[in-house]
Structure 1
Amino acid sequence: MTTIHDRWHGRKTDGGWRETSRRNARSVQTTIGWIFWDPGAVARFEARGLPGPLGYIASRGAPLAPAGPEALTAAFGSISSAGIALTFDLMKGDAAAFHELWQVRDEAVDEGLRRYAPGIIDPLVEMGPALWSAVDRLPRLGRVLFSATVSMPRPQNPLLSGWHAVNAIREWRGDTHWALLASAGLTSSEASIVHNEWLGYEDDWLSRSRGQSEQEIDEGWDALSRKGLAAQRRLLPVALRLRQQLEDLTDELTALPWQLLGRDVSHRFAERLEPPCELLLARVDETAGPNYQPASRVRERYRDPEESDGS
Structure 2
Amino acid sequence: MLLTSTSARAAIGMEAVREVSLTVNAAHLFVYFVPEAPEEAAGLGVTDPGPAYFAFRSAPMGAVPWQVTLAAFYGFSPRSVRAMAGVWDAAAPREWQAARFTAVGRALRRVGVRLTADQIAEARSLIDPVVAGADHAGKPMAAANASVPLPADPLVALWQQITVLREWRGDAHFTVLAANGVGPCDCNVLQTATGHFPEAIARATRLWDDEEVAAATARLAARGWLDADGTATGAGRAARERIETETDEHCAALWTPIGDTGVRRLTSLIRPIHDAFTAAGTYPFPVETGERRSAGAGDAG
Deviation string, structure 1 residues 102-147 (Cα, Å, up to 9, x no partner)? 2111011112212314313533343224422221211111111111
1:25 correspondence with 2:21? yes
Q: 2 CA distance for matches of 1:154 and 1:29? A: 19
User: 1:236 offset after TM fit, Å?
Assistant: 3.2
- CA change 1:271–1:180 in 2 (3 A) is same
Aligned AA (1:37):
F
Aligned AA (1:32):
H
Q: 2 CA distance for matches of 1:210 and 1:200? A: 15
Counting only pairs closer than 5 Å after superposition, residues 22-101 of structure 1 correspond to structure 2 as 22-47=18-43, 48-87=45-84, 89-91=85-87, 93-94=88-89, 97-101=92-96
Q: 1 CA distance for matches of 2:163 and 2:145? A: 9
Q: 2 CA distance for matches of 1:174 and 1:261? A: 21
User: TM-score of the superposition, structure 1-length normalised?
Assistant: 0.81
Shifted more, 142-151 versus 219-228: the winner is 219-228
1:150 is aligned, of 142, 146, 151, to 146
Equivalent pairs counted in the alignment come to 287
User: For residue 6 of structure 1, what is the aligned residue in structure 2?
Assistant: none
1:161 correspondence with 2:157? yes
User: For residue 4 of structure 1, what is the aligned residue in structure 2?
Assistant: none
RCO comparison, higher one (Cα < 8 Å, 6+) = 2
User: For residue 217 of structure 2, what is the aligned residue in structure 1?
Assistant: 221
Deviation string, structure 1 residues 20-64 (Cα, Å, up to 9, x no partner)? 111112221122110111111221113322333432221111123
User: For residue 111 of structure 1, what is the aligned residue in structure 2?
Assistant: 106
**Cα pair 1:30 1:281 within 8 Å, conserved:** no
**Cα pair 1:83 1:211 within 8 Å, conserved:** yes
Q: SS of 2:169's equivalent? A: helix
Q: 1 CA distance for matches of 2:126 and 2:9? A: 22
Aligned AA (2:69):
L
User: For residue 298 of structure 1, what is the aligned residue in structure 2?
Assistant: 292
Q: 2 CA distance for matches of 1:189 and 1:181? A: 11
**Cα pair 1:121 1:159 within 8 Å, conserved:** no
RMSD: 2.7
User: 1:80 offset after TM fit, Å?
Assistant: 3.7
Shifted more, 185-194 versus 13-22: the winner is 13-22
Structure 1 residues not aligned, in runs of 5+: 1-8, 302-311
